[in-house]
């Protein structure tokens, strides 16, 4: 097994891939439709060129930043929102990220090797078309409002081991920033909802008070009329 180069395990019920960590000669790995949540063992498979993780339950991509020889990566239908760690994939050509929870594409800004980018069914609002080498882009079922074209690309320098380790920390910070932003939006939505509910309660109390006053006026009128009849 140590000399294995191609491994296909698609359509199973695999939860742990710890046993794969010693397959250092793997160049192709297909784990399509399993029950994988952690891909940490893959960080040792430095020869990987094709990796398929379609339809699993993956959210943490930090181990992928070590797989700099990847040409094809399929992460369709997972639980991904933070793609910070993909910024070190200097040789990636095809990147499939459809059906996730991605909002921010800035980590992909400096990848100059990318020719195919699949991002359907995410939460993307802004897309920057500044990669002249891109040949195929899929963006259907998003929330696109603006498309920017022709911006200059930042030069991507191959990362050192230290930079990769630093990226893990920065990625955590980046993810926390995303969480903070989502929390701010949630608080704002709650505030708006509470204000709306308060207005409804105030309006209801005002109507009750108005009816109460009307009732008292009627009672008072009846009392006056009753006294007049008595006299």
Q: Find the mean pLDDT for residues 159-167.
A: 49
pTM: 0.66
What digits encode the pLDDT tens for the residues 206-216? Answer: 778 777 777 77
pLDDT at 158 over 50: no
What average pLDDT score do residues 180-200 get? Answer: 65
Q: How many CB atoms lie within 10 A of CB 97?
A: 25
> Which strands make up the sheet holding 72-74, listed edge to edge?
6-8, 28-30, 50-52, 72-74, 94-96, 116-118, 136-138
In this predicted structure, the answer to whether residue 166 has a pLDDT above a threshold of 60 is no
Q: Determine the Cα–Cα distance for residues 57 and 34; give it in Å rounded to an integer.
A: 8
Q: Which residues of 128-164 are buried (b: 16+ CB within 10 A; e: fewer)?
A: beebeeeeeeebeebeeeeeeeeeeeeeeeebeeeeb
Mean pLDDT score, 29-48: 97
In the chain, domain spans: 6-159, 161-231
Q: What is the largest CA-CA distance in the chain?
A: 116
User: What is the CATH architecture of 6-159?
Assistant: Alpha-Beta Horseshoe (3.80)
Instruction: Assess whether pLDDT exceeds 90 at residue 36.
Output: yes
Is 79 or 221 the better-scoring residue by pLDDT?
A: 79
pLDDT at 154 over 50: no
Name the pLDDT band for 156 (thresholds 50, 70, 90).
very low
pLDDT in tens, 101-139: 999 999 998 899 999 999 999 999 988 766 678 899 999
Specify the pLDDT at position 127: 86
* pLDDT greater at residue 90 or residue 150: 90
pLDDT above 90 covers a percentage of the chain that reads 55
Give the model's confidence band at 151: pLDDT under 50 very low, under 70 low, under 90 confident, else very high. very low
């Amino acid at each position: 097994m140590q000399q294995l180069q191609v491994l296909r395990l698609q359509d199973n019920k695999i939860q742990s891939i710890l046993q794969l960590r010693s397959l250092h000669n793997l160049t192709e790995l297909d784990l399509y439709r399993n029950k994988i949540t952690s891909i940490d063992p893959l960080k040792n498979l430095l020869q990987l060129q094709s990796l398929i993780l379609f339809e699993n339950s993956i959210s943490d991509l930090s181990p992928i930043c070590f797989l700099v020889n990847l040409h094809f990566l399929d992460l369709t239908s997972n639980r991904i929102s933070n793609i910070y760690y993909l910024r070190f994939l200097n040789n990636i050509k095809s990147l499939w990220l459809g059906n996730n929870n991605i909002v921010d594409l800035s980590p992909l800004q400096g990848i100059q090797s990318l020719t195919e980018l699949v991002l359907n069914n995410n939460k993307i609002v802004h897309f920057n078309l500044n990669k002249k080498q891109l040949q195929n882009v899929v963006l259907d079922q998003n929330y696109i409002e603006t498309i920017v074209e022709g911006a200059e690309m930042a030069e991507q320098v191959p990362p050192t081991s230290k930079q990769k380790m630093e990226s893990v920390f920065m990625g955590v910070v980046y993810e926390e920033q995303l969480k903070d932003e989502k929390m701010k939006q949630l608080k704002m939505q709650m505030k708006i909802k509470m204000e709306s509910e308060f207005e409804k309660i105030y309006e209801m109390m005002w109507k009750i008070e108005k009816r109460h006053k009307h009732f008292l006026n009627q009672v008072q009128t009846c009392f006056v009329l009753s006294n007049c009849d008595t006299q």
